[in-house]
Chain A
Amino acid sequence: MDARNGDVRIGVFVCDCGSNIAATVDVKAVAEYAAALPGVVVSREYKYMCSDPGQELIRQDIVEHKLNRVVVASCSPLLHEETFRGAVAKGGLNPFCFQMVNIREHDSWVHTDRARATEKAIALLRAAIGRVAFHKPLERKRVPIHPDVLIVGGGIAGIHAALTLANAGKHVYLVEREPTIGGHMAKFDKTFPTLDCAACILTPKMTAVKKHPNITLWTLADVTGVEGYVGNFQVTVTRRPRYIIEDLCVGCLECIEACVYKQAKVPDEFNLGLGKRKPIYISFPQAVPQIPVIDPETCIDFKSGRCKKTCIEACADRHAIDLKQQPQVETVPVGAIILATGYQPFDARKVPNYGYGVYPNVYTSMEVERLINASGPTGGEVVLRDGRKPESIGIIHCVGSRDEKTNKWCSRVCCMYSLKLAHLLKEHTGAEIHNFYIDMRTPGKGYEEFYNKLLEEGVHMIRGRVAEVTDWATTPEEEGKLVMCAEDTLISFVRRVPVDMVVLSVGLVPQDDAQDVRRLFNISCSSEGWFLERHPKLAPVNTFTDGIFIAGACQAPKDIPDAVAQAGAAAAEAMVLIDKGYVEMEPNTAYILEEECSGCKTCITLCPYSAISFLSDKKVAQINEVLCKGCGTCVAACPSGSIMQNLFEDEEIFKEIEGVLVNV
């Protein structure tokens, strides 16, 4: 029964949302206006429609007034469409005999003129009342969910999510583009505020990933295709050649020893170029998988084809080295995806006044992590590029953070890691340490205490953003030093501090390919390039694409505890989906009126989801409801007008337009 063939009885419910709507929209006037419209049997305003009593009001009115259509004017459907559909169903109505009007985000929150905002609310409500009269009862289709999960990124967030899911019995594909998992955390020396060794707490988890029967680990791999929808994604992963067959290699590393390069000559990526490696190498001693990789850019055999191939000799009868290895493409079905693609450190060259790349003794914080590390390029000895031991060191906070000219955001971890580096550098060198900060931000468990500890250790804290680092000496004491110029804002005085070594505490920025990744997975990014969560407070690991979750620093800068917590949350959300076993599809799909279809096939080529096929016996097109996403492309394109779409039928759309425009 709808407006085409019978008695329509509509109930209208206008929400105050406390003062969120009522302060800007005259909700009483809106409800009174609606009461007089054709088909409206009851029209009310109420303080919080989403509350239990609000929902109960809808249920009671449906029963009492024999309503067969409901319109709620409140907030965004994203927030409460499901709530009200549920309330309508409780009253015994089909949940799709319902329409929601957004008079908050689209009206009260974005306008200030009360009279005109009220007028707009009335127009939107009139449109909804017009269209709901034509709504038909619809059913949701249930589709089973594939139980496997894809995790992209093998940093601490990806590792933690993978282990959580795998321990719960789910099968996980963990895809990492580097030769080893571990991410940035593997490069850190110690972690704040407890000063426990990063490798000691990380590497057991890395090994657990490799050993876990429920985890398929693909390193040197990129996700190159994503198709399907929540519960039923088809993911294509391209595995770049390692030139070592993983199944045959035992990780003895004798091939590295045997390489014709007796000395390591190639700048080593893991140590940020501070150390050297061979063309066949392993990123760091605890790399997972514990399998070497050959870099075709520097391997003599790839360049000239005339190497003695001593590596292959050394591998002897294992035959694990395969210089002809080709990229391998794997396609796997998964039900859910977790993106844990991380961040990159800010490029310090973008702040030229700090002289990174100009003065050899200016380092980034990441480089210092490696210098301090016992398995780093200097075996943990902090020496400058000219071999001297620094006697004074300056650390600049907020490089590439909290800066109108580079990035406006606070990178959250730099205050704490700067303090950590100050402590470690003092421990390693005994040097005087000067920390230049804008504001100290140490909100975290034990963080402020750590800051106090550092103050007691005699680290100098200077409140002021450094203007420049220069080798321009104005006094004999400054000769041969790097001079850090800053206004000490606590004493209102410009200071020049000569030091031997400058450490730039670089901020966190989105990965270079964040935009490509978000397009591939069809999620959103904030304007800065961080992946956008569904709700900043209440859905922090969900995205606007069902079945795709985010964890770690790809969402925003965060420290290890937060990244791990978020990874656990993302794993739990994925499990909720999988253990439910099915997804309900929205019924706003298109369907074909077979008797009118001329079989021209126009729609088939246009459909972005390959949801339309051709029935050669009947010579008509057919739409697969499960694959259809309700985009409406085929509906608009059909030359004979024989494709319809649920919830977007012609009468519904025309009535909606009429409702908005009737008084214009």
Chain B
Amino acid sequence: MKRYLYYPGCSLRGTGKAYEESLLAVFKALDIELEELEDWNCCGATAYMSIDEVNAFALAGRNLALAEKKKLDLMAPCSACYLVLNKAQHYIKEYPKVAQTLEHGFKAAGLTYTGAVKVRHPLDILINDIGIEQIKARIKKPLAGLKVAPYYGCQIVRPYATFDQMYYPVSMDKLLRAVGAEVVDYPLKTRCCGGSQKGTLPEVGLSLIHILLKEAGRRNAQVVATICPLCQFNLDAFQEEAGKKYGEVSMPVVYFTQLLGLAFGFSAKELGLERNIVPAKRVLAKFEPAVA
């Protein structure tokens, strides 16, 4: 049985609760054991890094140091966590000065870090460690006929393209195809969701959100699948507002793990599909297991 350390980050315990629910369900179905990293702390996200780089690396680095003791790969499902942990790892390895500075911090906390931790994304684990064949073997209800726009967001492949292509990632496409869905060509798959612009420059944020949703519709997608809690939140929660401003759109936005979960036979409730603001039931109901 494969085992990984699990770093939920704040999102999967908050706005991205549905991501955690569906992820844990899917991983369990595939016999993948997850052990939550004990005493994990905030990754710092990209905001802290732009204010105080060294302290941001120390914050992220503490998680890495905690993980190293366990000698397991560290899985970070949130794109921001994944990027920040990888960036801290990269700087510790490539810039001796950063490593030396952090060493003092680690020492004060009674920790050491040699740089051995591998930060992994669930997509990477599913494709490269588990494999398409294993995933196919678990299918109970193939998502036949479901047209999905695969939306990756920016952070998962940029600037570190660790397991997929930088401009045109395909790992989620492969997983979705494996469970029977039809993946539409979606050239906007790594375009900006607006990040936190909805809060600071709402005009900019809303127009970016609208572009993504409208194009998915134009390409006949019935649902957008994403891997990032912030992308999901932006496209889902502000869809109505964006629609009012730029033209109506109606596009459920789900986590890829929710779609895998449906194919594995889990119920909408088990996968957190009821948490969606734009209801997904309209397009996904036919894949849900019959209620006994």
Interface residues of A (CB under 8 A from B): 351-353, 355, 358, 405, 468, 470-472, 474
Alpha-carbon distance A41/B211, docked complex (angstroms): 86
Taking CB atoms and an 8 Å cut-off, the chain B residues in 124-170 that contact chain A are 165-168
Evaluate contact between B188 and A352: CB separation under 8 angstroms.
Answer: no
Alpha-carbon distance A585/B12, docked complex (angstroms): 74
Chain B residues in 8 Å Cβ range of A352: 165, 167-168
Report if B185 contacts A (CB, 8 A). yes
| B166, B187, B211: the one within 8 Å of A470 (CB) | B187
| A468, A471, A472, A474: the one within 8 Å of B167 (CB) | A468
Chain B residues in 8 Å Cβ range of A470: 187
Residue of A nearest to B214 (CB): A474
Report if B53 contacts A (CB, 8 A). no
Alpha-carbon distance A470/B187, docked complex (angstroms): 6
| A353, A358, A474: the one within 8 Å of B185 (CB) | A358
Having A352-B168, A405-B166, A470-B187, one finds 7 other A-B pairs with CB under 8 Å, namely A352-B165, A353-B167, A353-B168, A358-B185, A471-B185, A471-B187, A474-B211
Chain B residues in 8 Å Cβ range of A355: 187
Alpha-carbon distance A118/B249, docked complex (angstroms): 76
Chain A residues in 8 Å Cβ range of B166: 405
Chain A residues in 8 Å Cβ range of B167: 351-353, 468
Residue of B nearest to A472 (CB): B187
Task: Among B166, B167, B211, find the residue whose CB has the most chain A CB atoms closer than 10 A.
Answer: B167
Evaluate contact between A472 and B168: CB separation under 8 angstroms.
Answer: no
Report if B241 contacts A (CB, 8 A). no
Alpha-carbon distance A405/B188, docked complex (angstroms): 21
Residue of B nearest to A467 (CB): B167
Give chain A nearest CB distance to B211 CB in angstroms: 8
Give chain B nearest CB distance to A590 CB in angstroms: 47
Chain A residues in 8 Å Cβ range of B36: none
Alpha-carbon distance A293/B9, docked complex (angstroms): 64
Alpha-carbon distance A351/B187, docked complex (angstroms): 14
Chain A residues in 8 Å Cβ range of B215: 472
Taking CB atoms and an 8 Å cut-off, the chain B residues in 215-249 that contact chain A are 215
Give chain A nearest CB distance to B176 CB in angstroms: 18
B interface size (C-beta, 8 A): 9
Alpha-carbon distance A181/B81, docked complex (angstroms): 56
Scoring B residues 168 to 195 as 1 if CB is less than 8 Å from chain A, else 0, what string do you get?
Answer: 1000000000000000010110000000
Alpha-carbon distance A352/B189, docked complex (angstroms): 13
Alpha-carbon distance A352/B167, docked complex (angstroms): 7
Alpha-carbon distance A364/B215, docked complex (angstroms): 28
Alpha-carbon distance A52/B166, docked complex (angstroms): 59
Give chain B nearest CB distance to A663 CB in angstroms: 32
Interface of chain A, main secondary structure: loop
Chain B residues in 8 Å Cβ range of A358: 185
Alpha-carbon distance A474/B187, docked complex (angstroms): 13
Scoring B residues 268 to 288 as 1 if CB is less than 8 Å from chain A, else 0, what string do you get?
Answer: 000000000000000000000
Evaluate contact between A468 and B165: CB separation under 8 angstroms.
Answer: no
Residue of B nearest to A354 (CB): B167
Give chain A nearest CB distance to B165 CB in angstroms: 5
Residue of A nearest to B166 (CB): A405
Alpha-carbon distance A472/B215, docked complex (angstroms): 8
Alpha-carbon distance A358/B187, docked complex (angstroms): 11
Chain B residues in 8 Å Cβ range of A471: 185, 187
Give chain A nearest CB distance to B191 CB in angstroms: 9
Give chain B nearest CB distance to A495 CB in angstroms: 17
Alpha-carbon distance A352/B187, docked complex (angstroms): 11
Chain B residues in 8 Å Cβ range of A468: 167, 187
Chain B residues in 8 Å Cβ range of A351: 167
Give chain B nearest CB distance to A266 CB in angstroms: 29
Give chain A nearest CB distance to B5 CB in angstroms: 31
Alpha-carbon distance A185/B246, docked complex (angstroms): 54
Alpha-carbon distance A358/B167, docked complex (angstroms): 14
Alpha-carbon distance A470/B166, docked complex (angstroms): 16
Residue of B nearest to A351 (CB): B167
List 9 tightest A-B contacts by C-beta distance, closest first: A353-B167, A352-B168, A470-B187, A472-B187, A352-B165, A352-B167, A472-B215, A353-B168, A472-B188
What are 18 A-B interface contacts by the 8 Å CB criterion? A351-B167, A352-B165, A352-B167, A352-B168, A353-B167, A353-B168, A355-B187, A358-B185, A405-B166, A468-B167, A468-B187, A470-B187, A471-B185, A471-B187, A472-B187, A472-B188, A472-B215, A474-B211
Alpha-carbon distance A289/B60, docked complex (angstroms): 66
Give chain B nearest CB distance to A49 CB in angstroms: 41
Give chain B nearest CB distance to A450 CB in angstroms: 33
Alpha-carbon distance A59/B3, docked complex (angstroms): 76
Alpha-carbon distance A154/B222, docked complex (angstroms): 55
Task: Among A352, A472, A474, find the residue whose CB has the most chain B CB atoms closer than 10 A.
Answer: A472
Task: Among B168, B185, B187, B211, find the residue whose CB has the most chain A CB atoms closer than 10 A.
Answer: B187
Alpha-carbon distance A662/B73, docked complex (angstroms): 51
Chain A residues in 8 Å Cβ range of B185: 358, 471
Chain B residues in 8 Å Cβ range of A353: 167-168
Residue of A nearest to B211 (CB): A474
Residue of B nearest to A469 (CB): B187
Residue of B nearest to A405 (CB): B166
Alpha-carbon distance A474/B212, docked complex (angstroms): 11
Chain A residues in 8 Å Cβ range of B188: 472
Chain A residues in 8 Å Cβ range of B165: 352
Alpha-carbon distance A441/B168, docked complex (angstroms): 30
Alpha-carbon distance A470/B211, docked complex (angstroms): 14
Taking CB atoms and an 8 Å cut-off, the chain B residues in 249-272 that contact chain A are none
Alpha-carbon distance A472/B185, docked complex (angstroms): 10
Chain B residues in 8 Å Cβ range of A474: 211
Alpha-carbon distance A472/B166, docked complex (angstroms): 19
Alpha-carbon distance A472/B212, docked complex (angstroms): 11
Give chain B nearest CB distance to A241 CB in angstroms: 40
Alpha-carbon distance A310/B127, docked complex (angstroms): 51
Alpha-carbon distance A353/B167, docked complex (angstroms): 6
